[in-house]
Amino acid sequence: MIRKFGELVVFSLLAMLLVVVPVASSVADTSAASYHWARKKSHFTLQVGDNLSGDWNSYLRRGLADWNKNGTVTLDKVGGQTSPQKCNPTTGRVEVCNWLYGTQEGWLGLTQLYFNKQGDHIDAATLQLNDSYFDSSSQYNNDAARRHTMCHELGHTMGLDHVDTNSCMNNSQYAVFHYVQPTRKDFRQIQKIYNHKDKETTVSSASVTSEGFAASTSLPSAPNEGATDETVTVQKLDDGRTVVTFITWAKD
């Protein structure tokens, strides 16, 4: 069952031309759009740790307000529990960070979904915003790009994939500067993902301490000109956990 699922993951993502798979892995579902947190109720609250500085705090508040219109997942801003530079995951919640991660890395925004050891549910998530682009003379140092990237990466933390609409979940370069909010179609997709109840929960109901996840490794290099705007990788970590990484690339 696990082996069959792992094959489905690889082939479905390759078919979308969005995937680099550094290490063979098995995760909970057959597409990124069905990755989800375990919880015992259809509606639940997901804590979002604020490790942000400067204007990013206002962008987070606005992004949370936009997504909290969905009626299924309530994103609740709480104090961060990691350093912005490392942005380590914390069990049961999302950690959001900004830092000068470097233009040599080539990415604008990066979301990582850490799965529990059974590989069937999201156990933690991190969201990183690269100020080497947002706080520079690059084209991304503007309100629209910041709003889009925050909104886009928050959507991934709930299990959403990319769409070809006027939603912030659209990953095209045009969308980065024009689509800054989720749509009702996104909300319906969230409802669909969580339209069931699990027997257990991977969502924290209280502030918890990081459990020392192994760090993700082997992120792909920035793509050549003409490549996709975002890459999805599936990796197996040293501690046996699986991590799915969404990488939004910056364009020169």
Q: Is the pLDDT of residue 61 over 80?
A: yes
Structural domain including 147 reads 2-249
Instruction: Look at residues 194, 189, 149 and name the one whose alpha carbon lies nearest to residue 172.
Output: 149
Predicted local distance difference test score (pLDDT) of residue 28: 40
> In what order do the strands lie in the sheet containing 122-130?
19-20, 230-236, 242-249, 107-115, 122-130, 94-99, 44-51, 73-79
Q: Are 97 and 128 in contact (CB under 8 A)?
A: yes
- Is 119 in a helix, a strand, or coil? coil
Quote the pTM value: 0.84
Determine the average pLDDT of the residues in 221-248.
Answer: 77
Split into its structural domains, the chain has a count of: 1
**pLDDT score at 230:** 77
Distance CA 154, CA 159 (A): 9
* Confidence tier at 228 by pLDDT (50, 70, 90): low
- The residue to which tokens 């910041």 are assigned: 146
Q: Which residue has the higher pLDDT, 229 or 234?
A: 234
What pLDDT score does 223 carry?
54
Residue 5 has pLDDT above 80, yes or no: no
Domain CATH code at residue 69: 3.40.390.10
Output 5 or 201, whichever has higher pLDDT. Answer: 201
What does the pLDDT read at residue 219? 61
CA 108 to chain centre: 13
- pLDDT attached to residue 104: 80
Distance separating alpha carbons of residues 89 and 96, to the nearest angstrom: 9
Task: Choose from 25-29, 207-211, 217-221 the range with maximum mean pLDDT.
Answer: 217-221
Tokens for 145, please give them: 């790009």
